[in-house]
Structure 1
Amino acid sequence: MPAIHAAEAGASLRVISKRELASLRYELDEVLQVVQGAYRAVAEGRSANPAKLTVKPPDGRCVAYAMLGRDGDRGTVAVKTSYKHGPEGDKADQRYYTTLSLYDEHTGLPIALMDCSLVGSLRTPAASALIAQACARPGASTALVVGCGVQGTMALPFLVRRLPGLQRLIVHGHHVAGIDAVLSAMHQHHPGRQVEVSHDLRRAAQEADIVVGAAGPASPEAVDASWLRPGALCILVGYGIDRQALHRADWRVATSAEQMQVTGTDLAVDGVLPAINAELPQILVGTQPGRRDDHHRVFAYNSGMVVTDIALGRLMAERALAQGLGREVALW
């Protein structure tokens, strides 16, 4: 029998926009479950997450990433691309685009081409919450988020979902609109929980059991390693925590040690990154510990793995398709 090409089978591509995806409803728990399941599938060998590719011109005016992966649990193969122009400049002048192309390996047909910003804004803070649950010292009661941009907005809601015993929630940022977004997100997902707005980063860091660095590259402040209390957990998502916190840590965790070698080069000292002690997928299945001692200072590098984008992207794409969102394009 001759091979049937996609065009002969009537295949088309559903393109789903950022605006359409923003209208979807989701629960924090289902996001956490999907992301956790994706990490576990990697650890158990059911999914594949190759290292990302990076291209960047010598003058640093832009940076692009490409990530291929396979979610074995959902039979989904996908490619994520990410492009940022002006990464070191003023935020108002930056241009950022990210997409996810999903394919069903059972039918051999494309599922969707979709904007990936919603998925990214959810899977990263969800991963931070999973890290905190696994790596924070017992009895952790105070969490500080440094930064109030896209990644900082949802950090506290996800943290509280996995660590309901947190008593003090603190945000430190420099943009009024961003602070308002953090407070609004907490009110939406955890009505009645209060968030303190810090104006003294050093004091807030000294009192925190969990510090999430989710600031942008232009952030004027960073948590110094000497400010961290014994037993503190640092989770670096973007910026806002000095690299010495990694080098002086008693225990080091990464979502992917291999990926950290690609995206974490700015943390190196004299070109060297210290060895990672444990990776999140293995921690979640119990083959590696999240920490060794309650008094150890733990540093975790959360770089996001494409398998989590794929798993969450498939969920969002199916929800959008069920609602008739998107536009069919006869690409083939």
Structure 2
Amino acid sequence: MAIKTSYKHGLDKDREAQHYYTALTIYDDITGLPVAMMDCSRIGSLRTPAVSALLARECAVPGARSALVIGTGTQGRLALPFLLTTIPSLDRLMAFGTHPEGITAVREQLSAHFPDRDIEMVTGLRDAAADADIIVATAGPHTPAAVEADWLKPGALSVLVGHGLAPSTLHRADRSIATSEAQMNVTGTDMADAEGKPPAVDAEFPPVIAGIVPGRLSDTERIFAYNSGLVVTDIALGHRFAQLAIAQGLGTQVPLWH
């Protein structure tokens, strides 16, 4: 059992002066005692691109060979290493970004995990999107990127984490999947229709990954996937980290309850 707290400080200040803090407290569900309290920022930065990669594994066209990542922030930097973990057959890796330090970080992250692979930094977004079997859009709200539905080839999978996809990729998709439809209705308002709501999804991802519902029905359908993240994955990953840390004697033990 666990509780995650999130706090964004300095909302009345410029973006550079704002700070976002998350903490995860894990309890033993047998004894009720606390197991660990940890900084959750690293966990959150790992689980979201991991879910995008699992979405790709379940929903990408069979034999997918090309992937395009839009954005070079935290999610963009980790997207390709995770994608290559779930789909090692990818042979064309593309990224689109506008921040030089972010582009450098994307290359460094891939090199750290897959030193024999390289990234093609693209400037022609339309041509890159037209060749991509998988697109993962992780950019911030001010990105100039907005991939349209008619840019996509048959069978393409578009995964929205942040920004970089136009609403048409959802509204004209042959199939849509969300990690949580309820959360998508709250956080996906920029993809909304004329009535102010995103269209209903065809499936949620938990039953897809459990094998209850198929991710893809044909090789030609264009699929839109909305990855808003699930806090339960923070708990699962945090618990695993806590187990590993305790086994290695890491962390600081604090006597709180006896």
**1:208 pairs with 122, 132, 155, which one?**
132
Residue 223 to residue 90, structure 1, CA distance change in 2 (3 Å)? farther
Cα 1:238–1:141, aligned 2, differ >3 Å: closer, same or farther?
Answer: same
Among 304, 307, 317, the alignment partner of 2:229 is 304
Could you tell me which amino acid in structure 1 is paired with residue 208 of structure 2? Answer: I
- 1:199/1:87 CA distance change after superposition, 3 Å: farther
Partner residue in 2 for 1:95: 19
Choose from 51, 71, 76 the match for 1:152.
76
**Residue 118 of structure 1: CA displacement?**
0.8
Residue aligning to 1:253: 177
Instruction: Say if 2:204 is the partner of 1:285.
Output: no
The RMSD of aligned alpha carbons is 1.9
* TM-score calculated relative to the size of structure 1: 0.73
In structure 1, the residue matched to 2:219 is 294
> What is the CA-CA distance between 1:227 and the residue it aligns to?
1.2
Kept in 2: contact 1:205–1:228 (CA 8 A) = yes
Give, in angstroms, the shift of residue 89 of structure 1: 8.6
CA distance in 1, matches of 2:80, 2:133: 14
2:166 aligns with 242
Equivalent of 1:219 in 138, 143, 146: 143
Q: Structure 2 vs 1, CA of residues 89 and 197 (structure 1 numbering), >3 Å: closer, same or farther?
A: farther
Give the Å deviation of 1:232: 0.7
**Contact 1:142/1:169 (8 A) holds in 2:** yes
Which one of the candidate residues 49, 58, 77 is aligned to 1:134? 58
Report the Cα offset of residue 220 of structure 1.
Answer: 2.4
Counterpart of 1:228?
A: 152
Shift of 1:140: 1.3
Query: How many residues are matched?
Result: 256
- 1:13 is aligned to none
TM-score calculated relative to the size of structure 2: 0.92
Which residues in structure 2 correspond to 1:88-127 (within 5 Å)? 91-127=15-51
Cα distance change on mapping 1:257 and 1:87 into 2, 3 Å: farther
Asked if residue 192 in structure 1 is aligned to residue 103 in structure 2, the reply is no
1:141–1:209 Cα contact (<8 Å) kept:
yes
Residues 1:181 and 2:105 aligned together: yes
CA–CA distance in structure 1, aligned partners of residues 133 and 73 of structure 2: 22
1:88 touches 1:217 (CA, 8 Å); kept in 2? no
SS in 1 for 2:163: coil
Question: Could you tell me how far 1:330 is from its partner in structure 2?
Answer: 5.5
Q: Distance between the aligned counterparts of 1:220 and 1:296, measured in 2?
A: 27
Distance 1:143 1:210 in 2: 5
Q: Is the 8 A contact 1:202 1:227 kept in 2?
A: yes
CA contact (8 A) 2:155 2:221 kept: yes
More displaced stretch, 257-266 vs 202-211 = 257-266
In 2, the alpha carbon distance for the partners of 1:142 and 1:307 equals 30
After TM superposition, the runs of 4+ consecutive aligned structure 1 residues lying more than 4 A away are 85-91, 328-332
What is the alpha-carbon distance in structure 2 between the residues aligned to residue 265 and residue 329 of structure 1?
Answer: 43
Deviation string 1:57-111 (CA, Å, 9 cap, x unpaired) is xxxxxxxxxxxxxxxxxxxx11212233577996523321111111111111011
| Structure with higher RCO (Cα < 8 A, 6+ apart) | 1
Could you tell me how far apart the structure 2 residues matched to 1:294 and 1:272 are?
A: 28
- Cα distance in structure 1, aligned partners of 2:180 and 2:81: 24
Is contact 1:90-1:218 (8 Å) kept?
no
> Given that residues 185 and 197 in structure 2 are in contact (C-alpha distance below 8 angstroms), is that contact kept between their aligned partners in structure 1?
no
2:252 maps to 1:316: no
Report what 1:34 is aligned to: none
Give 1:272's aligned residue: 197
Question: Does residue 1:169 correspond to 2:87, yes or no?
Answer: no
Cα 1:84–1:217 shift into 2, 3 Å = farther
Q: For structure 2, which runs of at least 5 residues remain unmatched after alignment? A: none
SS at match of 1:154: helix
